[in-house]
Structure formats: structure tokens, C-alpha cells
Structure 1
Amino acid sequence: MESALAEIEFLALSANRVEALGYLAEEPRTRRELVELTGASQPTLGRILRDFEERAWIERDGSTYRATVTGTLVSRGFGELVEILDADAELRPVVRWLPAESITFDLEHLTTATITTPSRIRPNAPVQRALELLGDASTVRIVSYAFNEGSLDVISERTKAGDQRFEGVFSSDAIDAIADDSQLRRQLRELLTAESATVRIADEPIPVAATIADSVVHLFLRDDTGILQASIDVDEPEVRSWADGLFERYWDAAEPLTIEQL
């Protein structure tokens, strides 16, 4: 363990070392090429290459250097560690709002996620991000404790035009909130008449607000008081599989919503 940590520290203390090993793991290169790619001085690069040779991470063939099998493994592993730490830095501000009780996939699948948070200039940014995804998707599935006006607008318009197929399963509270507003109730009634739209209502509480827009999964993240703090969306097969399973579980247990119920 200590020797491994020492090697991690050896690489981490120099961006030039990380870059040089990464470039050599890609393909053989000369010292001149490495100087141009890393921006390191000739003396600095000379020390780096000697250190790499001592560790058997690289080998020399005339004026060309190449990464060994172990050197390539180290470079790839260190790169993955950097990606994980970058993702941690991105997720750290919002991870406490993720629906941990519902998530069964490894959070490493969120390393490429887009995180959208409100700002003073764009206080509604998470909702706008969701509307962008809805506006581009040809198939949409939603499982949620809420159905906001903006989403209803976009979905109604696109299903009516034949540009989108929609399936939604919502908590009874979400449907009741729409039914209490005459204009939104009318929009929902129109949505139910669209051939490409189906809505179901769940009796049990739904703890998440998840949208599957084509292959992208979008989640609204709220704090304990119900205030929207962020949204996160990602195009990853593992997350998509989780979201599909979540949707289908609530969908199968829900009842179709009919116009007469509104």
C-alpha cells in the first residue's frame, strides 16, 4: 500500500510526468516531440524519462521512447483516478440531494453528467434544462411526483404535432395539482387525447422526478424542504437501465388516467 501511494504521489506532484507518460502510452515519441507536447524543458524531461526508465514504465529504442505494458497500465489507471476525482469535485455540491434510497447504479456512471444549478441570472435553469431535453426528444418517459407547467406545454405541443411519443406515470398529488388549475386541466385533457401519449396515476408516493428523453436520463434534485436545488442529466447505459427499471416498476403498478377522472 505505501509503495503504491508513493508512486501515486510521484506522478501527482508533476503535471509534466502525467502528461509525458500519457503521451508515451498513446504511441512512441522522441524527446523533442515530448518537449513540444508537454512544454517541459529539456533538462526536466530528461529527469522524467530517467525516472520512468528506472520504474520500467518506458523503454528506449534509439531516439524513440515508448511506454511498456506496465507504464500503459499506470497511465490509464492514473487517468481514471483523475476522472473520478474530477467527477467527485463536480458532484460534491449536489450529491446530498440525490435520491440515494432509489439509486442502485454506481455513482461513477455520473462522471460525464451535466449538472445545472440555479443562479441569480437564471434561477429557473434546472427546469429550462429539462425543457431543452424534452424539446429535442422523440420519445419521453417520465416517472415523477410532479408535472410542471413548462413540461406539460412542451409535451402537449410535440405529441399533438406527432413529433414525440410520451409515457408518464405520476403521483396522485401531481395530477391533483394540475386538475385544480382550469387551464392546466384543459391541457392535460388534450394530452390524453393524443394517440402518442399515455398517462398513468400511481397511488403510492413516487420519491423521484426522473425523465428519460431518448437515451438521456434527467433528475430534478430537491432539498428536504422541497426546494429545487439542481438538476443532473447523463447519457449512460447503466443509468438508462436503472431509469427504465424504475419507470416500469411504477408504471406496472399504476392505473391509466382517463379524461373522465379530470
Structure 2
Amino acid sequence: MDTPLEDIRFLADSENRFVALESLASGPCTRSELRSATESSKATISRLLGDFERQGWVAKEGNRYALTPLGDYVATIFVDLYDHMKTAHELRDLLPWFPLGELDREFDLEILADASVTAATPENPMAPVARVLEIERESTWTYTLANRFPKACIEARYEAMVEGNQTCELVLTPSALESAMTSPNANKFEEIVAADQSSVYLYDGDIGPGGIYDGTAYLIVANEEDVNVGLIESDDPALIERLETTFNQYREASTQLTVSSLEADAESIQAET
């Protein structure tokens, strides 16, 4: 291997080499531990360690193998690259609908390098929705921006806030409010609004769905048909700060809902229909 590209190809062409390098980055390993991590044969591990030694990346310490300073440098760079590429792979199908405009025109995707992505798949098209309901039901506190508030979300919030101890600040669009008011769970929605630990607001305009729960930011990604295709979660401080700023801007431009205002809105909706 005479060039840097050949070194990269050497690592990228074998999952075993990458897994072994990642394992060694966590600390010295025996051959048996590397075999277990890579699920490889003795012969494969022998070849792999021989290659690593010739590269100057590992050295034997008793019955264990440890990264050299050069090996540690390579592992740090390559594992970081892998993590970035993994995120890029997961985001690839979501970015066409990613709400960049809601955050910043100069949004830096580096913020999402360590994000957790839940994407809809042919095998599990409802995965993002299921994850959102988990957040709504299980969080201790949330700041939420919602352009939809269907029956399942009302049930999750009711369970968390009215029957549980979750605190929540929720900003809804008019369409989200109308869907809640005309839902079979409209009474439960009224109890959510009336709950001591909730503050529900109405923003007269469009908003990108998402928010912050228990110190983690989340963004809901919908396609052009308004179908949820993914959920992105991250505890990156920069993203949390941006979402806090965005949430505060919407909240300050909103009107807080009360049970009395809901009753007036209900009468208005009934009159229109």
C-alpha cells in the first residue's frame, strides 16, 4: 500500500478490518476478543493483525494487541469518517424534505453528525410515527411545534400530562387545532389544555414540526404529500439552541389557548359546518 487512497481502500474493503480497528480503539484486545468482535476465523484474525502490524498500526503487548500512536490516529479519523458517512446514508432519503428553512439558511449538517435517524421503510412505514408517539408519551418535559395533532397524539399527550406528570409547552397551527377539536378525543384535548402542567398556544401560520424533549432536539420530516418519512433526534447543543430560539419565536407570536377559547372555537367550527 503505497498511497493514502490505498490505505483507505484497505480499511473500507473489509468490514472485519473496520470492526477490529474500532474494537482496538476502545483498548487492547486479545486475538480471541477480536475473533468474537468480528465473528471471524483464527486465520482471518492472524492475517488482519499481520497487516495492521506491517502498517505500524498495532503492537503486541503480552497476549494482547494495542494501537500504536499512529494506529490510534488512523482509528480516530476513520471511525469518525464512518460515523459521518453512516449519518449521511441515513439522511440521504430525508434531505429533500429536511426543514432547513425553519432553522437557518446556512445550516451546517455537521450538527447532525451524531444524530439518531428513524426512517420510514417498506418493512416499517410507520416507524417515525411510532417513535414520535414514544417521545410524546414517555418524556418528562417537551417543547413541541405541531402542524398536526391527530387522535393518537392526543391520546399520548393525555396519558403523559393528564394521567402522568409530563410538563409541555405546545404550539399548534390552526389546522392542527381544528383536527384536535373535531377528533373523537376532543374532550381529552380540552383536558390537556386545562392541565396545570401544560401551556398550549395557537400560531396563525405554518410551522415545521419538531421540538425538544428532555434535552434532546427532534425534527419530523414529511414529504411533499405530508407523510412522515423520518425523525431526526440529536443532543447537539447547537441544534438544541436553534430549536429553542425557533420555538420561542413561534410561542411569542402565538395566542395561548384556554378552555373558554376552545369552546368559542368549537361553536365557530360547528357554525361553519
TM-score range, shorter chain: 0.7 to 0.9
TM-score (norm 2): 0.76
Residue 236, structure 1, aligned to residue 239, structure 2:
no
For 1:198, what is the secondary structure of its paired residue?
Answer: strand
TM-score (norm 1): 0.79
Native 8 Å contact 1:162 1:196 kept in 2: no
Native 8 Å contact 1:119 1:125 kept in 2: no
Distance change (3 Å), C-alpha of 1:259 and 1:81: same
Distance change (3 Å), C-alpha of 1:135 and 1:34: closer
Deviates more, 1:233-242 or 1:249-258: 233-242
Residue of structure 1 equivalent to 2:146: 144
Distance in 2 separating the partners of 1:36 and 1:190: 54
Deviation at 1:188, TM superposition (A): 3.4
Distance in 2 separating the partners of 1:162 and 1:69: 52
Matched ranges for 1:57-206 at <5 A = 57-60=57-60, 65-103=65-103, 104=107, 106=109, 109=112, 111-117=114-120, 119=122, 124-179=126-181, 181=182, 183=184, 185-206=186-207
Distance change (3 Å), C-alpha of 1:9 and 1:249: same
| % identity of equivalent residues | 25
Deviation at 1:146, TM superposition (A): 2.1
Distance in 2 separating the partners of 1:4 and 1:205: 49
The CA RMSD over aligned residues, in Å, is 3.2
* 5+ residue gaps, structure 1: none
Distance in 2 separating the partners of 1:100 and 1:190: 34
Deviates more, 1:57-66 or 1:248-257: 57-66
Please tell me the residue identity of whatever aligns with 1:169.
V
Please tell me the residue identity of whatever aligns with 1:241.
E
* 5+ residue gaps, structure 2: 266-273
Deviation at 1:224, TM superposition (A): 1.8
Native 8 Å contact 1:114 1:232 kept in 2: yes
Native 8 Å contact 1:16 1:40 kept in 2: no
Distance change (3 Å), C-alpha of 1:85 and 1:197: same
Deviation at 1:170, TM superposition (A): 1.5
Native 8 Å contact 1:20 1:34 kept in 2: yes
For 1:195, what is the secondary structure of its paired residue?
Answer: coil
Native 8 Å contact 1:131 1:151 kept in 2: yes
For 2:3, what is the secondary structure of its paired residue?
Answer: helix
Matched positions, count: 256
Please tell me the residue identity of whatever aligns with 1:232.
L
Q: Provide, for residues 145-167 of structure 1, a one-character-per-residue CA deviation record: whole Å limited to 9, x for no partner.
A: 22222212222343223522121
Please tell me the residue identity of whatever aligns with 1:205.
D
Distance in 1 separating the partners of 2:89 and 2:9: 19
Please tell me the residue identity of whatever aligns with 2:102.
S
Distance change (3 Å), C-alpha of 1:229 and 1:60: same
Deviation at 1:127, TM superposition (A): 2.7
Distance change (3 Å), C-alpha of 1:28 and 1:248: same
Deviation at 1:50, TM superposition (A): 4.8
Deviation at 1:231, TM superposition (A): 3.0
Distance in 1 separating the partners of 2:62 and 2:196: 70
